[in-house]
Structure 1
């Protein structure tokens, strides 16, 4: 259990005052949820040599991790003896099910010492899970992320973390295997609010990018030329560069779906109401996100906001079939970087 691991770490830290050669063994890590994001994140831990065992509702989605030295288990209960268990699921209901449902992680006599949840859920749901973990003597960290599977594999994922600082200190090295940036923001569930605010900006920026891209195209400028200019200006960002290939070539392979974005806008606007913060631009964008869901194209990337804007502007977009650098070092189709 992680209790013993933490104790070993504390003893090791004390011993380092007199014996700098002491090296406590690393934690045994479990992973729940190997979807597009989860499998890429778990893969980075496995590649770093972490003792990792993974579970997923559809077992086949976890199998690729074996190639990198990880083990795969058939039941969540098989992870109860792990020192640290990461969770990466879609909703608060999913998190509750894997932790507290029949055969859940926290329903047996033995429980892990810490749960690190990387999902995007509400602050209220996170606080409820934290309380349940505390009742069972399990530390809980909220550690939502910024990025997608491609970002994870490029080594540029960002994580924001809240919860007991002592627990964070013990697992920070694991988080740094997963992403290049790990920011601790304090106790409790503050990380949830930070991540929700982040995703609100994600939607607002994408809707704005769709509007100005359609504006210049209808005025006679190609999308790739406009986005090249924008990305190399002070207004460009890692995000606008990353989204440019989808906008230019209309490749809506999903990295984040309209339904997931709508969930985050619902969470964000609820938080704004509770904190009495007016968010007019966010509220308008929420309607555009709802329109993207209403279009029925819920299995595509939320970049379809571009198509909806074009349709509202009376033009039909066509792929420009131009290679565009996404800023992540993604190889070209011809094999060149």
Structure 2
């Protein structure tokens, strides 16, 4: 059993912290909305704190899972940030999907205080978090990663380190680029099937058994066919993630034409009022706007 802190109880962090508590660890949570932290304690036990620093005090490992680079800085740095409450020898593990630059920035600050750092964005969506079946993409030193992985087994079905700090965020960018292209392809395929007089659900069921199969097809085809998008990973967050990837691609001189185009398509979905819809809502854009990319 370890003494842990978990900062950020969104749709991912809430169940992830719960898995840690259920695994027998002593978990203290912090969330910007106090009522959410109180609800977590009611569901899982453990304790809540009023600041990240208070939550992190005495913790062996502190986990963060918030929205973006600025959110991350706000809960880690400053007098009330997590680092202010952490002791030398502790470990900070960040599950936020953020930039590789902020991961390296925070790792440097933590290192000056003798605190380890692992960037560890996740994939698997809300269902993966709730079921403890996440894929965790990490960057950090070998010893820090080994220490983090031992605890993250509570909610990870796969967990790998791809290099030094920042490598986890770069790997997550790859993940999001792949998803963008896949979901657009599925949207076009299912829309094509429906317009051609086929049953898109029946087609998807068969295609999923062959080379065209994917997690997205197996888990989203039926809801896409039914026009149901009020769940899952929001378009607003996907655009944030793709923006990070596109910015990094420009920095390293890599072309991401499909990701850039799909990012524009997600912008259309936002304009249609679907910013909070699941990313599979790309098919709605095709139904309303057709194939026009202008």
Pair 1:196 & 2:173 matched = yes
| Count, aligned residues | 289
Q: Is the 8 A contact 2:97 2:169 kept in 1?
A: yes
Unaligned runs of 5+ in 2: none
Q: In the alignment, what sits opposite 1:40? A: 15
1:17-59 Cα shifts (integer Å, max 9, x gaps): xxxxxxxxx3210000001000011111111111111111112
**Which of 74, 80, 83 is 2:50 aligned to?**
74
Q: In the alignment, what sits opposite 1:166? A: 143
Q: 1:306 to 1:102 in 2, by over 3 A?
A: farther
Where does 1:5-154 land on structure 2 (aligned, <5 Å)? 26-66=1-41, 67-78=43-54, 79-107=56-84, 110=87, 113-154=90-131
Q: 1:293 to 1:156 in 2, by over 3 A?
A: same
Give the deviation of 1:155 after TM superposition: 3.0
Pair 1:237 & 2:214 matched = yes
Q: Kindly name which structure, 1 or 2, has the bigger radius of gyration based on alpha carbons.
A: 1
Pair 1:261 & 2:238 matched = yes
DSSP-derived class of the 1:177 partner: coil
1:63-106 Cα shifts (integer Å, max 9, x gaps): 34333232222222212221110000010100100111451122
Which one is further off, 93-102 or 67-76? Answer: 67-76
Where does 1:170-319 land on structure 2 (aligned, <5 Å)? 170-313=147-290
Q: Is the 8 A contact 1:31 1:42 kept in 2?
A: yes
Q: 1:136 to 1:219 in 2, by over 3 A?
A: same
1:310-330 Cα shifts (integer Å, max 9, x gaps): 11239xxxxxxxxxxxxxxxx
Q: Is the 8 A contact 1:144 1:191 kept in 2?
A: yes
Unaligned runs of 5+ in 1: 1-25, 315-337
1:243-262 Cα shifts (integer Å, max 9, x gaps): 12321332212321111111
Rounded to whole Å, the distance in 2 between the matches of 1:308 and 1:101 is 43
Rounded to whole Å, the distance in 1 between the matches of 2:165 and 2:259 is 26
DSSP-derived class of the 2:29 partner: strand
Rounded to whole Å, the distance in 1 between the matches of 2:161 and 2:85 is 31
TM-score, normalization by structure 2:
0.92
Give the deviation of 1:185 after TM superposition: 1.2
TM-score, normalization by structure 1:
0.81
Rounded to whole Å, the distance in 1 between the matches of 2:22 and 2:185 is 38
Rounded to whole Å, the distance in 2 between the matches of 1:306 and 1:62 is 36
Rounded to whole Å, the distance in 2 between the matches of 1:227 and 1:300 is 21
Give the deviation of 1:110 after TM superposition: 4.9
Give the CA RMSD over aligned residues.
Answer: 1.8
